[in-house]
Amino acid sequence: MRKTYTFLPIASLVFTIFLSGCGYNSLVQLDERVNQSWAQVENQYQRRADLIPNLVKTVEGYADFEKSVLVEVTELRSKVGQVKISPDDLSDPEKFKKFQDAQDELSGDLSRLLVVAENYPQLKANESFLNLQTQLEGTENRIAVERKKFNEAVQEYNQTIRSFPTLITAKLFGFKEKQYFKSQPGMEKTPDVNFDFKKK
């Protein structure tokens, strides 16, 4: 019995050294970096979602504005709010694609709303509308920046879990490959939120 008890601390020490040598701690750090980057992406998408009601409210004051576009944007905002994924879902291609598709669809409709708004030059005199222009421009830029940072964090994480010897530790402890944001056709640029109504 005495030999068993003295063996356990030694075995624990050897196991700890093995994990450290095979990159377990590094994998945990990289996983946390991905999670933190994901939180920043979500923050910026939430900020955009919070701006949309104010944009709709400002624009709908113009009686002849295309109501169908406003309805579509409002409905998509609601739909996007229901498509949530947790950090654990970042390894699920189907869930991640569903989230990205919903966000990209909202980006497209928001862009369309702003293009339609160009037919209403009187909006440029609306202080609330102009303020929203600045906020939306900033938010769309931050979304693009945070998505890029997220992809960089995922790339480093994915490369590490596929490299030897950390791939052994990754498989042993269930570290799975995470998904990237991918460019959609026509989505190479952030949505145009320029409210300059001057004719070119």
Span of 22-36, 102-116, 141-155 with lowest mean pLDDT: 102-116
Nearest to 173 by CA among 30, 40, 8: 30
Is residue 7 scored above 80 in pLDDT? no
Question: Do residues 23 and 172 lie in contact, with contact meaning Cβ atoms separated by under 8 Å?
Answer: no
For the stretch 28-77, pLDDT in tens is: 999 999 999 999 999 999 999 999 998 888 887 775 667 788 888 889 99
The pLDDT value given to residue 6: 54
Mean pLDDT (whole number) for 67-96: 90
Q: Where are the domains of the chain?
A: 25-173
Mean pLDDT (whole number) for 131-153: 92
* Stated pTM of the model: 0.79
The pLDDT value given to residue 175: 96
The pLDDT value given to residue 126: 80
Letter string b/e over residues 155-175, b meaning 16 or more CB atoms within 10 A of that residue's CB: eebbebbeeeebeebbeeeeb
Residue with the bigger pLDDT between 4 and 57: it is: 57
Span of 120-134, 135-149, 185-199 with lowest mean pLDDT: 185-199
Is residue 186 scored above 60 in pLDDT? no
The pLDDT value given to residue 93: 96
Computed over every residue of the chain, the mean pLDDT equals: 82
CATH of domain 25-173: 1.20.1440.20
Within 8 A by CB and 6+ apart from 39, the residues are none
